Amino acid sequence: MTWIFKSLLAAGIACSGIAAKADTVTEPPATRAAGIFISEYDNALAPLQFVKFCMNYGTECEPDKVAEQVLPSGERAQAMLREVNRSVNDSITPMQKPTSPLLAHWAVSPAAGDCNDYAVTKRHRLIEMGWPKSALRLAVVLTADGRGHLVLVARLSDGDVVLDNLSSSVRPWNAAGYQWISMQSGSNPRFWVAVGEHGEHLRASRLASLRTPL
């Protein structure tokens, strides 16, 4: 799969699997000491379904109104994340939905849904609990079998962690076994950035093209 094709993956996300209540992704050992935060690079194309989501749920995509909202700290933050991850995974019945950008849509708290619905619902609930939007960022990843998948990243003071409908646990981002493609910007939730190895390769390709003589 080329890097260009991976960047176009944002146009349509076909969720990997529909199991919500059990860990189904192989988890390598956590490596929080190195790269505790996801590396961010250039601007990226937002998923088309996300654009439609913002049209239907406008307040979800507005920046924080309070400039200095404070994250919950320590074990309290971890406990809130674990509870929201578990309760949302239990409350939504997994269902395969259309992946066509014209037919697909993301919904908050549906009775049944796919990875996109789990992710936006978890973000919505944490925002209602007082979490700043800048710390709750939707992210597009590729699973080990190359399928597109949407997760929620919570940025804590000591690193990024992942809330995922394919896992009953809240994991460090680098213990999830995914290829990271793009993620919401922390400065404005309507914008997305390329991340991880994909973002690094994309930036290198752009810089190389700028240096190529005409």
**Sequence ranges of the domains in the chain:** 1-16+45-177
CATH entry 1.10.150 includes domain 1-16+45-177: no
Q: What is the pLDDT of residues 143-192, one digit of tens each?
A: 999 999 999 999 999 999 999 999 999 999 999 999 999 999 999 999 99
As to burial, measured by CB atoms within 10 angstroms (0-12 exposed, 13-18 middle, 19+ buried), residue 159 is middle
Q: What is the pLDDT of residues 16-51, one digit of tens each?
A: 655 555 444 444 434 344 469 999 988 999 999 999
For the entire predicted model, the pTM comes to: 0.84
Nearest to 186 by CA among 111, 118, 131: 131
